[in-house]
Structure 1
Amino acid sequence: MVFQILLAAAGLVVLTFAADHLVLGSSRLAERIRISPVVVGVVVIGLGTSAPEFLVSGVAAARGDTDLAVGNIAGSNILNLTLILGVAALAGSVVVTSQVIRREVPLAVGAVVLFAFLAWAGLSPVTGAVLAAAGAGVVLLLLRWASQGRGNQELADDAVEFTHANATVDVPVTLSRLPGWFEPVRAILGLAGVLAGAQLLVANASAIATDLGVPQVIIGFTLVALGTSLPELVTTVQAQRRGESDLVVGNLFGSNLFNSLIGGAVVGFASGSASPGKAAVALSVAMILTAGLAWALLGRGLILTRVEAVALLAAYALTMPLLLSA
């Protein structure tokens, strides 16, 4: 048991650092081939930062651990808008613009609702195709908004700033001195590391659940979801310290958007028709209610105070007994 816990932790470490290099390498490669910074910001960075969630869930579903796969996505969706958003609001008031509340946030909540209903019905190749089509439509819509909106230049600047920053653990060479082949290799090795870390984490998390006699969905909802959401937590805390509240909200709701549509599609295709991934009614309801709660609190005055942060943290604490009783 102790050995399996250590291996799961090792998988989580590999996953976290490999995802960092996957996103950075992909972003720099996109910049080198002259892809618009807006496209890099919405697609490459947006999808890349959610890669740990849907790759872990995809590996789990392909192994037949569909409960763990669904639990990971559902747990990440709930955790993002309760625990992580609550921690950010405890550090300081989260203030957002009306444009974010009118456009991106409802889109993300709609994606969570769609995923919740389809996960309750069963994630199969058919429902996976529905989620994939919705995901493609959402990406096109986000790109259209980004290219037309007033935040276009800000998004482009954020993408450029990200691509010129270093990874958490990086090579001690300046960006200008790196050879041209380095970033594609970084991206490929990052992807390989994410897949290896996901396999290590899922295999040992599944074994831990079996040894403890705990349902896989519980392990996915807690241990795995918390681990794969660590990048969002770090990004959120850093953005909140810089006073970039819109980035905090956009990152968390955006993560739920991609988790639900792209992650759900990956689980559906990997599960197959014979053993579709399913979420219990309580878990689906919890996803919808927590997303609605975060939306309502933010939309009430375009600000999230410390009192409301406590309400979000309490909502996260209440989801566990709800799940256990399902």
Structure 2
Amino acid sequence: MLWPLPAVVAGLVILTAGADQLVAGAGRLARRFGVSPIVVGVVIIGIGTSAPEFVVSTIAAARGDAGIALGNLVGSNILNLTLILGIAGLIAPVIVGSSVPRREAPLMVAGVLLFAVAAAAGLGRVAGAVLAFATAAATVLLLRNARVESGDPLPGEVSSFREMAEKPVRTSIESVRTVLGLVATLVGAQLLTTGGADVAGHLGVSPTVIGFTVVALGTSLPELFTAVQAQRRGDGDLLVGNLLGSNLFNSVAGGALVGLAGRGEPTRLGYPVLAAMVAVSLLAWLVLYRRYRVTRAEASFLLVAYLMTLPLIG
């Protein structure tokens, strides 16, 4: 009866390893071709750490497992700004010196709100197309905002973060790394989605619950690893920028993929958990904008906020 559990565990391991190599390979290729550090931080790392959410939710939607697809995206969005930001804040206060809370945070909140409206009304192909347009618009805005002001610490943090683990770049090796990372992400996502649906069936719980908890935690591991690594180096701007960017792309790009890959029937999620996702996004924005930092007390509150969202998905 417990045979799907090995598939879930294997999927989590393969997915995490594949996503890590995908982000590393893409970042190093970008460096090789002269892409600016700020664009790497805003777009490549943000989208790269969201790759597991994209792949898992798209496969789940295509298989007809709409609960896992939406539960994963919503759960990941809540996890990023409560559990992951909270853990990082407990390691040390998260200090932000860039314009991220002023420029990227409102864009993230707008993306999450649009996604929540679509999920409440019914995330079908029309809503998917709207979210796809929003993805393109958000990317343009992010690239335009990449023209940072003098003294903004984010570009330097991205460069330092990349070079910490990077050796001289060989295009052929990094291309293979990126492709293999993508393949591993796809395989891990398939195992995780299939196993998660089977576990839900065996335990008699909603697939949405599995998507919101086990699957969302698994697909958020790249963000967690990046956050802890950045926080240990004192790169608070990179940490916050990655989490906000991940939530933005989870919402608009992930939502678009679910809507377009689904089987034509609009997919909905309950109002309480969607309201919690929007509330958590506003809370994180408020905490960051107020003093441009997350203290240990605020980090503890974010962890409590995550626990408070769990009963809403039942």
TM-score by length of 2: 0.93
Provide closer, same or farther for how the CA distance between residues 82 and 11 of structure 1 changes in structure 2, counting only shifts above 3 A.
Answer: same
Code of the residue aligned with 1:189 in structure 2: it is: L
Cα distance, 1:296 vs structure 2: 1.7
Structure 2 CA distance for aligned equivalents of residues 287 and 98 of structure 1: 25
Aligned mate of 1:287, from 274, 277, 283: 277
Amino acid at match of 2:267: G
Amino acid at match of 1:116: A
Change (3 A) 1:38 1:242: closer
Letter in 2 for 1:70: L
Cα contact 2:60–2:68 (8 A) shared by 1 = yes
Letter paired with 2:313: L
| Cα distance in 2 between the residues matched to 1:151 and 1:70 | 39
User: Is the counterpart of residue 42 in structure 1 residue 45 in structure 2?
Assistant: no
Structure 1 residue 175, shift from structure 2 partner: 3.8
Distance 2:154 2:81 in 1: 24
Are 1:6 and 2:6 counterparts?
A: yes
Are 1:37 and 1:160, in contact at CA under 8 Å, matched by a contact in 2? Answer: no
The alpha-carbon distance between structure 1 residues 216 and 102, as it changes in their structure 2 partners (threshold 3 A), is same
* Cα contact 1:24–1:163 (8 A) shared by 2: no
Residue type at the aligned position of 2:7: L
Between 61-70 and 19-28, report the one with greater CA deviation: 19-28
SS at match of 1:2: coil
- Judging changes above 3 Å, is the alpha-carbon distance between structure 1 residues 188 and 11 closer, same or farther for their aligned structure 2 residues? same
Counterpart residue number, 1:195: 186
Query: Could you say what secondary structure the match of 2:146 adopts?
Result: helix
> Which of these residues, 219, 226, 231, is aligned with residue 228 of structure 1?
219
| 2-structure distance, mates of 1:243, 1:32 | 26
Return closer, same or farther for 1:296/1:35 CA change in 2, 3 Å cut-off: closer
Deviations 1:210-258 (A, max 9, x none): 1111001100000000111111111111211212222221121111011
1:35 CA displacement: 3.7
Query: Measured at CA, do residues 209 and 228 of structure 1 come closer, stay the same or move farther in structure 2, by a change above 3 Å?
Result: same
Q: 1:164 to 1:88 in 2, by over 3 A?
A: closer
Q: Residue 164 of structure 1 contacts residue 175 of structure 1 at CA under 8 Å; is this kept in 2?
A: no
| Cα shift at 1:111 | 0.8
Aligned partner of 2:233 among 233, 242, 250: 242
**Superimposed CA distance per residue, residues 165-195 of structure 1 (whole angstroms, 9 cap, x where no aligned partner):** 25xxxxxxx646x5x4222222112111111
Q: Which amino acid aligns with 2:183?
A: A
Aligned to 2:254: 263
The verdict on how the C-alpha distance between 1:279 and 1:94 changes in structure 2, with shifts beyond 3 A counting, is same
Write the distance in 1 (CA, Å) between the matches of 2:39 and 2:84: 26
Could you state the TM-score of these two structures normalised by the residue count of structure 1? 0.90
Residue 48 (structure 2) pairs with residue 58 (structure 1)? no
**2:42–2:245 CA contact under 8 A, matched in 1:** no
1:36-115 equivalences under 5 Å are: 36-97=36-97, 99-115=99-115
Q: Which runs of 4+ in 1 moved over 4 A?
A: 151-154
- Which runs of 5 or more residues in structure 1 are unaligned? 167-173
Cα distance in 1, alignment partners of residues 63 and 95 from structure 2: 42
- Would you say the 8 A contact 1:69–1:277 is kept in 2? no
Q: Which residue of 2 aligns with 1:316?
A: 306
Quote the Cα distance in structure 2 between the aligned partners of 1:50 and 1:153. Answer: 23
Contact 1:66/1:276, CA 8 A, preserved across alignment: no
Q: Distance in 2 between matches of 1:110 and 1:202?
A: 28
> RMSD over aligned Cα, in angstroms?
2.0
Q: Give the direction of change, closer, same or farther, for the CA distance of 1:98–1:321 in structure 2 (3 Å limit).
A: same
> Are 1:162 and 2:162 counterparts?
yes
Tell me the CA shift for residue 196 of structure 1. Answer: 0.7
Greater shift in the superposed pair: 4-13 or 301-310: 301-310
Deviation at 1:68, TM superposition (A): 0.5
- Residue 206 of structure 2 aligns to which amino acid in structure 1? P
Q: How does 1:12-31 map to 2 (within 5 A)?
A: 12-31=12-31
Residues 107 and 67 (structure 1), Cα distance of their counterparts in 2 relative to 1, 3 Å cut? same
> Partners of 2:228 and 2:100 in 1: how far apart?
19
- Structure-2 separation of matches of 1:191 and 1:266: 17
Higher mean C-alpha deviation, range 3-12 or range 152-161: 152-161
- Answer whether contact 1:70 1:220 (CA < 8 A) is retained: yes
Alpha-carbon separation, structure 2, partners of 1:243 and 1:63:
42
CA distance in 1, matches of 2:156, 2:231: 20
Distance 1:133 1:293, change over 3 A: same
CA contact (8 A) 2:18 2:185 kept: yes
C-alpha distance 209-111 of structure 1, shift in aligned 2 (>3 A)? same
Q: How many residues align?
A: 314
* Cα distance change, pair 47–283 in 1 and its aligned pair in 2 (3 A): same
